């Protein structure tokens, strides 16, 4: 068949460069060239010089093409031959079994008795790989065949490098998608936990959360530092229709004013010194999802203006960019500061304030939701004990829980969490006593002020210490009677039941050898004080009639 080399080059190039799926391109090319050349197999191979390994990345027969990654370790003789033939870009091998470099590959392809034409693929003086064509076992390759295949050196080099880059990009994309799935699962696991106090102290807050979550309206979370604003923001996100989209957090108080624009809005390559690549900002990364602006009161005035534009126009401009980018995000903001006061002081823009304050939610401080403290303590003990891999999960003592309930918690839930962690580190037993509540040096002053009005009476404080010590003994004896963790919230009830049981056994007697104080191993005066506090009226006059 008469063949024009230009036609051959053009058609073969269209085939080999016609698809980024290299196995498909290789198969199409083979079907074309075997009309003119006795070719029966074709392959792309990459030589990893440092490892002395040849990797076959694609292979084709008349039936189909196949992508693969078959790596073969070369012998020292083969490696030396490769180095010696670096200047020879095309080689005709009469019998593959006789070639130290080609024979290991040919053995995998069942082609040891075949001949082959091998082309080095080079672009910009960079060795990319090798293109091999095996014959059909019937006809030998002629010089004319070699010359035709030589025409395909550059197109095959381009096809191989494009395919390798495409393959690498797909792998990176899959890795990124897998990382994103993993991080999203971790986020759901960490931040999607049940809100402690949802049925008690945060009942009204959660009612508002459920009302606003399914909407796209902006939400402004207000409350003191450490009240759990981020937890509520997470709850809104997980209950929203955007829960499968990004949730991007920005701590406005942690970003320097000079970097806030580039962090929020991103920048184009060359926008400023050091901008060597284009970078998407936090707002753009939240596309389709939720943007959580924590500490919104710390934003600079310039950043406030740009954020206002985002809320108004749903558009952003990267720093140094010329193209306006449309965005679709839901904004949740949070602050511990008084934005209204800041607005009157001209420190916070009024128009931005009213844009954010579409649906404000005020989160109460911990001192106003004391009923949640037992559940929070239990939650943090379980969480921190797991992190510390403690075999035994400790419990708070009775008097410790009383102190926790009466403490004013200036640091709110964050302070409570830190206190639990510190106590778990310091106390390795089965019970936690939280001896340093509120910080080192404060000791037990909160309990003293709660139980006794005269805080300055040193003798009274000494008696209080004895009470606490004896209460611990009562708790340890009554522990087996506590049927579940829920009774931690009824500590006085547990102590009261135990004391009543002791009085019943002692026929109402408090003092003496047969008295309840002796049975409980505590001082009689201590027992009477505790009975008075718990409202227990007993004594010999109240003992059963049959005693």
pLDDT at 470: 52
pLDDT at 172: 85
Q: How many domains does the chain have?
A: 3
Separation of alpha carbons 136 and 216, rounded Å: 66
- Average pLDDT of 160-165? 89
Domain extent, residue 346, equals 192-364
Question: How does residue 152 score in pLDDT terms, banded at 50, 70 and 90?
Answer: very high
Separation of alpha carbons 475 and 483, rounded Å: 14
Residues 304 and 381 in one domain: no
Range with the poorest average pLDDT among 217-221, 278-282, 536-540 = 536-540
The pLDDT tens digits of the residues spanning 373-412 come to: 999 999 999 999 999 998 889 999 888 888 899 899 999 9
Q: SS3 for 235?
A: helix
Range with the poorest average pLDDT among 255-259, 281-285, 415-419, 470-474 = 470-474
- Average pLDDT of 39-67? 90
Question: How does residue 446 score in pLDDT terms, banded at 50, 70 and 90?
Answer: very low
Choice between 125 and 229, residue whose per-residue pLDDT is larger: 229
Residues 427 and 299 in one domain: no
Residues 344 and 385 in one domain: no
What is each CA distance from 451 to 397, 460, 535, in whole angstroms?
A: 17, 10, 14
Domain limit, last residue, from 364, 389, 420: 364
pLDDT at 368: 93
Nearest partner of 498 among 526, 476, 514, judged by Cα: 476
Nearest partner of 96 among 139, 135, 42, judged by Cα: 135
| CATH for 444 | 1.10.8.60
Query: Is residue 376 in some structural domain?
Result: yes
Residues 162 and 287 in one domain: no
Residues 469 and 389 in one domain: yes
Could you count the other beta carbons within 10 Å of the beta carbon of residue 31?
14
Query: Is residue 182 in some structural domain?
Result: no
Q: Is the pLDDT of residue 474 over 70?
A: no
Question: How does residue 491 score in pLDDT terms, banded at 50, 70 and 90?
Answer: low
Q: Residue 244 has what DSSP assignment? A: T
* Strand 315-317 to 324-326 pairing: antiparallel
The pLDDT tens digits of the residues spanning 222-239 come to: 999 999 999 999 999 999
Residues 350 and 380 in one domain: no
Predicted model pTM: 0.54
Range with the poorest average pLDDT among 18-22, 418-422, 498-502 = 498-502
Residues 130 and 252 in one domain: no
Q: Are 294 and 248 in contact (CB under 8 A)?
A: no
Question: How does residue 62 score in pLDDT terms, banded at 50, 70 and 90?
Answer: very high
Question: How does residue 413 score in pLDDT terms, banded at 50, 70 and 90?
Answer: very high
Q: Are 403 and 367 in contact (CB under 8 A)?
A: no
The pLDDT tens digits of the residues spanning 168-206 come to: 888 888 878 777 766 666 655 555 557 888 888 999 999
Q: Are 64 and 27 in contact (CB under 8 A)?
A: yes
What is each CA distance from 141 to 95, 145, 176, in whole angstroms?
A: 11, 6, 46
Across the beta sheet with 247-251, the strand order is 247-251, 290-294, 330-335, 219-222, 359-362
pLDDT at 445: 37
- DSSP letters of 430-452? SEE--TTTTSTT-TTHHHHHHH-
């Amino acid at each position: 068949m008469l063949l024009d080399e230009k036609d051959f080059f053009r058609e073969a190039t269209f085939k080999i460069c016609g698809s980024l799926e290299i196995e498909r391109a290789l198969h199409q090319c083979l079907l074309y060239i075997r009309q003119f050349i006795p070719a029966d197999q074709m392959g792309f191979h990459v030589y990893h010089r440092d490892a002395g390994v040849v990797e076959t990345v694609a292979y084709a027969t008349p039936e189909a093409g196949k992508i693969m990654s078959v790596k073969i370790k070369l012998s020292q003789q083969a490696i030396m031959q490769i180095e010696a033939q670096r200047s020879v870009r095309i080689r005709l091998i009469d019998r593959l079994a006789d070639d130290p470099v080609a024979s290991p590959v040919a053995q995998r392809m069942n082609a040891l008795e075949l001949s082959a034409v091998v082309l080095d693929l080079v672009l910009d003086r960079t060795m990319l790989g090798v293109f091999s064509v095996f014959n059909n076992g019937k006809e030998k390759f002629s010089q004319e065949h070699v010359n035709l295949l030589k025409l395909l050196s550059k197109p095959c080099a381009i096809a191989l490098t494009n395919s390798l880059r495409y393959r690498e990009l797909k792998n990176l994309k899959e890795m990124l998608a897998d990382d994103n799935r993993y991080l999203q699962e971790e986020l759901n696991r960490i931040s999607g936990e049940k809100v402690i106090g949802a049925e008690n102290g945060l009942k009204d807050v959660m009612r508002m959360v459920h009302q606003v979550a399914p909407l796209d309206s902006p939400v402004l979370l207000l409350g003191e530092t450490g009240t759990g604003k981020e937890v509520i923001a997470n709850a809104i996100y997980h209950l929203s229709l955007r829960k499968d989209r990004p949730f991007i957090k920005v701590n406005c108080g942690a970003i320097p004013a000079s970097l806030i624009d580039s962090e929020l809005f991103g920048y184009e390559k060359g926008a400023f010194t050091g901008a060597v690549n284009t970078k998407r900002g936090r707002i753009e990364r939240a596309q389709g999802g939720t943007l959580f602006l924590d500490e919104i009161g710390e934003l600079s005035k310039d950043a406030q203006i740009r954020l206002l534009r985002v809320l108004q126009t749903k558009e952003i401009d990267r720093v140094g960019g010329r193209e306006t980018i449309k965005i679709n995000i839901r904004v949740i903001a949070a602050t511990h500061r008084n934005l209204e006061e800041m607005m009157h002081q001209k420190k916070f823009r009024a128009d931005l304030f009213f844009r954010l304050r579409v649906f404000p939610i005020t989160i109460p401080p911990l001192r106003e939701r004391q009923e949640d403290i037992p559940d929070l303590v239990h939650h943090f003990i379980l969480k921190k004990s797991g992190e510390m891999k403690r075999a035994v999960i400790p419990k708070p003592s009775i008097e410790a829980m009383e102190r926790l309930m009466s403490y004013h918690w200036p640091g709110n839930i964050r302070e409570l969490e830190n206190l639990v962690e510190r106590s778990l580190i310091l106390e390795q037993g089965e019970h936690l006593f939280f001896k340093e509540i509120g910080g080192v040096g404060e000791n037990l002053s909160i309990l003293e002020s709660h139980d006794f009005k005269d805080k300055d009476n040193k003798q009274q404080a000494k008696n209080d210490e004895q009470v606490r010590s004896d209460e611990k003994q009562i708790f340890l004896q009554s522990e087996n009677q506590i049927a579940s963790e829920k009774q931690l919230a009824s500590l006085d009830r547990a102590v009261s039941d135990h004391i009543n049981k002791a009085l019943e056994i002692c026929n109402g007697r408090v003092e003496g050898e047969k008295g309840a104080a002796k049975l409980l191993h505590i001082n009689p005066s201590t027992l009477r004080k505790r009975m008075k506090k718990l409202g227990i009226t007993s004594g010999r006059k109240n003992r059963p009639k049959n005693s």
